[in-house]
Amino acid sequence: MMWSRVLGTGSYLPVRQVHNTELESRIETSDAWIFARTGIRSRHVAADGEGTVDLAAVAAARAIEAAGLQPQDIDLIVCATTTPDMVFPSTGCLLQARLGTRGAAFDVQAVCTGFLYALAVADKFVASGQARHALVVGAEVFSRLLDWSDRRTCVLFGDGAGAVVLGRSEHPGIRSTHLHSDGSQAHILQVPGHLTDGKMQSHAVVHMDGQAVFRFAVRALESVCHEVLKANGLTGADIDWLVPHQANERIILATADKLGLPRERVVIALSHQGNTSAASVPLALDVAVRDGRIQRGQRVLLEAVGGGMTWGAALIEW
Ligand code: UT7
């Protein structure tokens, strides 16, 4: 049996950082409220003219380098984004042109679960032999989907990109991926809007019922994490690192508690990134790989939940 395995990771955050104290001067909020309710202190915001593909290209180049490969070795790009630079071509195709890779390139859209969806798709291509080296990217300029006068949403999100390169292996890498959606819950987290006659119809900014999303997230993440453990005959004690979606520290720690994982085995990169949607999991993963926490041979559990509603998880033997 052949597997797909992570060969390298990379990430990128835009230069400009917006601290909670800067938001205090614009809206009725406080650093104390934001930090206590979410664990966020600051987030990065893309510069004018800086697009999703610009962030993705830097993260991707770093992942390809970490994998010890050249761009021309990549024969598949799966890009997860909710904030494409154009209606079409896909961000994956724009990225392909930027990097000079070959083969197929396309986007998947599952909002904050997007990276897990992209990873699951790329894993199937690589493990089955249809691709040799896949670049899997999560990239967002989510700041452009926000109403910056709505304190219930604008304090939560940020921009960034993360990427991994997958290669084929005789030894287990990605053990299993688990994806779920419940479209009946679309109304609790959405950006309504569509283009007609070249104009955006409706106010296309994030609308969120925060408490409903919170409750949904805690239930869905516990359920999918237990699904992963059961499918692989493991318990929480067998997991070396939990790399969760970085939306809210209270949600992250609730999931860790349900798995019996101490805080020291949870990767939390939220405080200076905020919720970067599809970029959140690969960004956190890259931080923990580069600072030496995640080591070869360890078991890493990834999870995320987002608009759709969508949720998913993956177990990786690093
Ligand atoms: O990637 C998946 C996407 N999203 C999530 O995972 C988010 C899930 N939800 C959450 O993380 C939390 O629900 C929030 C962080 C969004 C909100 O925290 P909460 O503890 O659920 O607060 P709340 O919505 O119940 O609001 C409590 C109070 C309200 O005031 P009143 O009605 O009690 O007077 C809000 O108006 O806090 C107020 N509030 C704020 N105050 C200061 C809401 N936003 C803010 C703010 N600053 N930014």
**pLDDT tens digits, one per residue of 268-303:** 999 999 999 999 999 999 999 999 999 999 999 999
Q: What is the token pair recorded at 228?
A: 């992963």
**pLDDT in the model for residue 260:** 96
- Residue ranges and CATH numbers for the domains of the chain are 3-171 (3.40.47.10), 175-317 (3.40.47.10)
CA of 304 from ligand 1 middle (Å) equals 19
| DSSP secondary structure string for all residues of the chain | --EEEEEEEEEE--S-EEEHHHHHTTSS--HHHHHHHH---EEE-PPTT--HHHHHHHHHHHHHHHTT--GGG--EEEEE-SS-SSSSS-HHHHHHHHHT--SEEEEE--GGGHHHHHHHHHHHHHHTTS-SEEEEEEEEEGGGG--TT-HHHHTTB-EEEEEEEEEEESS-SEEEEEEEE-GGGGGGEE---EEETTEEES--S-EE-HHHHHHHHHHHHHHHHHHHHHHTT--GGG-SEEEE--S-HHHHHHHHHHHT--GGGB---GGGT-B-GGGHHHHHHHHHHHTT-S-TT-EEEEEEEETTTEEEEEEEE-
Our answer on whether the CB atom of 33 is closer than 6 Å to any ligand 1 atom is: yes
Our answer on whether the CB atom of 207 is closer than 6 Å to any ligand 1 atom is: no
**pLDDT in the model for residue 1:** 82
Whether 5 and 166 have beta carbons less than 8 Å apart is answered as: yes
Sign of CA dihedral 223, 34, 149, 82: negative
Whether 107 and 90 have beta carbons less than 8 Å apart is answered as: yes
Catalytic residue status for 248: no
Our answer on whether the CB atom of 275 is closer than 6 Å to any ligand 1 atom is: yes
CA of 18 from ligand 1 middle (Å) equals 19
Count the Cβ atoms, other than its own, within 10 Å of residue 196: 7
**pLDDT in the model for residue 284:** 98
Our answer on whether the CB atom of 311 is closer than 6 Å to any ligand 1 atom is: no
Our answer on whether the CB atom of 38 is closer than 6 Å to any ligand 1 atom is: yes
State the 10-residue block means of pLDDT for the chain, 318 residues long. Answer: 96 98 97 98 98 98 98 98 98 98 97 98 97 98 97 98 97 97 98 93 94 98 98 97 98 97 97 98 98 97 98 98
Active-site choice (112, 133, 178, 225): 112
Catalytic residue status for 112: yes
Residue nearest to atom 16 of ligand 1 (CA): 210
> Using CA atoms, how far apart are residues 147 and 153, in angstroms rounded to an integer?
8
Nearest Cα neighbor of 253 from 270, 238, 237 is: 270
Catalytic residue status for 225: no
